[in-house]
Chain A
Amino acid sequence: EAGVAQSPRYKIIEKRQSVAFWCNPISGHATLYWYQQILGQGPKLLIQFQNNGVVDDSQLPKDRFSAERLKGVDSTLKIQPAKLEDSAVYLCASSFKDSYNEQFFGPGTRLTVL
C-alpha cells in the first residue's frame, strides 16, 4: 500500500513569511497527526485529527500555526508568520483508527527559516 505522502520535502523561507505543508495519509486511516521535530529531539505533537475533527491541539502555537483536514482525508499545516525557532522537520503520520494503532510516518518536510 502507498505510504504517507508529504510535500514539499524541503522549504527555505525568511522570517515573517508564510509557509504551508501538505499531507496525504494512508487510504482509510481515520487519524492524522502533525509533529514538529527539532534537530536532536523526538517529535512533538502539534495537532491530532480524528476524521476531520480536532482531538488535540494543545501544543499548537495557535497565534501562528493553523491546520485543517477537509473531508477527513488530506491535511495542510500553515505557519504565518514564521519565526527562526520554527526551523524543524514537520512530520505527518496516520493511523487506522486511533492512537492505539500503529502510526505510519511520512518522510517529513524540512523547514529552514532564515
Chain B
Amino acid sequence: KNQVEQSPQSLIILEGKNCTLQCNYTVSPFSNLRWYKQDTGRGPVSLTIMTFSENTKSNGRYTATLDADTKQSSLHITASQLSDSASYICVVSAMITTDSWGKLQFGAGTQVVVTP
C-alpha cells in the first residue's frame, strides 16, 4: 500500500478560481513533506518543503499546510492561472536513522487543468 495518498486524482477549475489538493501519509518517522509541480513533459520542480514544526508555507500563489498529528497536508492554489495546469505531487521523506536512510515516498499526483 502506498504510504502517500493524494486526492483528488484530477480536477478542472476555471481560471481565477481557487483550489485545494490533499495529501495523506503514513510515512514514519517523519522528516519532511514536499510539494512538487510537474508540467507535462518535464521533471518535477519543488514548490515547498515543510518539516514537522512548520504548519504552513507559501510560495507565491501556492500555500501548503501540514498537520503532523493527523499526517495530512494540503496545497492551496489561489487565483489560478492557465500556467498552473500541471500534476502536483506530494513527497514525504522519512527520517534518517541507523535503520533508515530517509527514503522518499511519492504520491501519484493530482492532475490540475485550468480552463479559460
Footprint of B on A, CB under 8 Å?
4, 40-45, 48, 55-56, 91, 93, 98-100, 102-108, 110
Contacts and interface: CB of A to CB of B under 8 A. Distances in A.
Contact of B43 (A40, A42, A108): A108
Given A42-B107, A42-B109, A100 B93 contact: yes
Interface string B21-32: 000000000011
Given A43-B89, A105-B44, A107-B41, 10 more contacts: A41-B108, A43-B44, A45-B104, A91-B44, A99-B104, A100-B31, A100-B96, A100-B102, A106-B43, A107-B43
A43 B107 CA distance: 8
Interface residues of B, number: 23
A65 to B, nearest CB: 18
Interface of B: 4, 31-32, 34, 41-46, 49, 89, 93, 96, 101-104, 106-109, 111
A104 B41 CA distance: 15
Nearest to A102: B46
24 contacts: A41-B108, A42-B4, A42-B89, A42-B108, A43-B44, A56-B103, A98-B96, A99-B93, A99-B96, A99-B101, A99-B102, A99-B104, A100-B31, A100-B32, A102-B34, A102-B49, A103-B46, A104-B46, A105-B43, A106-B43, A107-B41, A107-B43, A108-B43, A110-B41
